[in-house]
Amino acid sequence: MSIIVCAQCGHALTAELEKQKTPPADRDLPGKPYVALGTYTTGHNHNFVLHPEDLKGAERHPESRRWDGCCGPSGLDGPNLICPGCQAEIGTQESDCWKHFVATLPDATEMREQPSTR
């Protein structure tokens, strides 16, 4: 299992995640998450894409305009998530009517393997 951390300060941003083994299903259906809870996939620009509820260690960006949207943040106004440890922008939550995911910024986050507890 792995966790996503801030590349700048190492602050943990997620609990343990598994790489999603199959391509995201039904990603174009309104109200459906792009990836399953507890999993992640990689985006076209080598970022991490995860379920919004899996991002536990991030904070909202202080600029309220970055959270515009009708049913949730659209993600169209720039990164809207920051690291609470160093305040670096770490990604964008897109949870408006038509999409539900968090996309991290490629150079702002990294994956760390968690040692097995078995």
State the CATH number of the domain containing residue 26. Answer: 2.170.150
Q: Domain of 25?
A: 2-113
Average pLDDT value for residue range 7-30: 82
Does some domain include residue 118? no
For the record, the structure tokens of 40 come out as 């992640």
**Is the predicted pLDDT of residue 50 greater than 80, yes or no?**
yes
Does some domain include residue 32? yes
Average pLDDT value for residue range 1-24: 91
pLDDT band at residue 99 using 50, 70 and 90 as cut-offs: confident
**Is the predicted pLDDT of residue 117 greater than 60, yes or no?**
no
Does some domain include residue 104? yes
**Is the predicted pLDDT of residue 96 greater than 90, yes or no?**
no
What is the average pLDDT score of the chain? 89
Q: What pLDDT score was predicted for residue 66?
A: 95
**Is the predicted pLDDT of residue 39 greater than 70, yes or no?**
yes
Q: How many domains does the chain have?
A: 1
CA distance 31 to 61: 23
Q: What pLDDT score was predicted for residue 70?
A: 87
CA distance 99 to 18: 21
Is 0.75 surpassed by the pTM of this model? yes
Does some domain include residue 65? yes
> Which residue from 69, 70, 89 is spatially nearest to 79, judged by alpha carbons?
89
pLDDT band at residue 1 using 50, 70 and 90 as cut-offs: confident
Contact 36, 45 (CB under 8 A): no
> 73 vs 118, which has greater pLDDT?
73
